[in-house]
């Protein structure tokens, strides 16, 4: 799962860039139309499509480089289904194939809570990326590159001082503390992991 909040200059030149004030999570990219009633295929960027793309969900749409409709709009999902392994989406605002074609290449985002408002057991990768990782004694271990979410457990990808990427299971035994205020994560890795 990824999201971005580029600077204002990027926003003015890149139609897919988000303003500084945005806290958004990229969830899908609109593909080609499917049928004649406005349904579209979607490339998913979320591991929770049933929740993020449920009927009634409001998504922020930004145009892609080749998108015919260049405006940023909000789309409301009316239906999400699967055709084999392809996700299909329908929107309240789109009712025909031509309107669906105009959206091709657009990126869909959901608004996410700010890090301070997130409960202690849930973070997004973009919120933790760049945090320093230290051992229980405060000795540096590296910098968090990203948080990978998985079905069984999440993993922290830490870039060590030597540049090696080390994966640490995001469980309390190995990650006893996430200090948001100081942008620091305390790790208690097994011997030899770093």
Global confidence as pTM: 0.50
Task: Please report the pLDDT score of residue 148 as a whole number.
Answer: 82
CA–CA distance, 94 with 96 (Å, rounded to integer): 6
Extract long-range pairs of 31-35: CB within 8 Å, 24+ residues apart: 31/104, 32/101, 32/104, 33/97, 33/100, 33/101, 33/104, 34/83, 34/88, 34/100, 35/97
Q: What would the CATH number be for the domain defined by 117-186?
A: 2.30.30.240
Domain ranges of the chain: 8-112, 117-186
pLDDT 10s per residue in the chain (194 long)? 334 333 333 333 433 344 444 467 888 999 999 999 999 999 998 877 888 888 998 999 998 877 776 777 899 999 999 988 899 999 999 999 999 999 999 999 887 655 444 444 566 667 788 999 999 999 999 999 988 876 667 889 999 989 999 999 988 899 999 998 899 999 999 888 88
Pick the CATH number of 8-112 from 3.30.360.10, 3.30.930.10, 2.40.30.60, 3.40.50.300: 2.40.30.60
132-134 and 184-186: which strand pairing? parallel
Reduce the DSSP state of residue 3 to 3 states and report it.
Answer: coil
């Amino acid at each position: 799962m990824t999201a971005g909040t580029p600077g204002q200059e990027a926003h003015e030149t890149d139609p897919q860039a988000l303003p500084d004030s945005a806290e958004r999570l990229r969830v899908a990219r609109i593909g080609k139309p499917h049928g004649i009633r406005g349904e579209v295929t979607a490339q998913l960027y979320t591991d929770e499509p049933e929740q993020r793309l449920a009927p009634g969900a409001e998504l922020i749409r930004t145009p892609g480089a080749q998108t015919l409709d260049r405006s940023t709009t909000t789309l409301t999902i009316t239906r999400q289904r699967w055709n084999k392994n392809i996700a299909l989406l329908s929107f309240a605002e789109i009712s025909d194939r031509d309107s669906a074609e105009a959206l091709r290449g657009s990126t869909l985002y959901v608004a996410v809570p700010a890090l301070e408002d997130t409960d202690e057991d849930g973070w997004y990768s973009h919120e933790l990326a760049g945090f320093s990782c230290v051992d229980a004694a405060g000795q540096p271990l590296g910098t968090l590159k990203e948080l990978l979410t998985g079905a069984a457990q999440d993993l922290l990808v830490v870039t060590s001082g030597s540049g090696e990427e080390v994966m640490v299971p995001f469980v309390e035994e190995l990650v006893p503390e996430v200090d948001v205020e100081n942008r620091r994560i305390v790790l208690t890795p097994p011997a030899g992991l770093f």
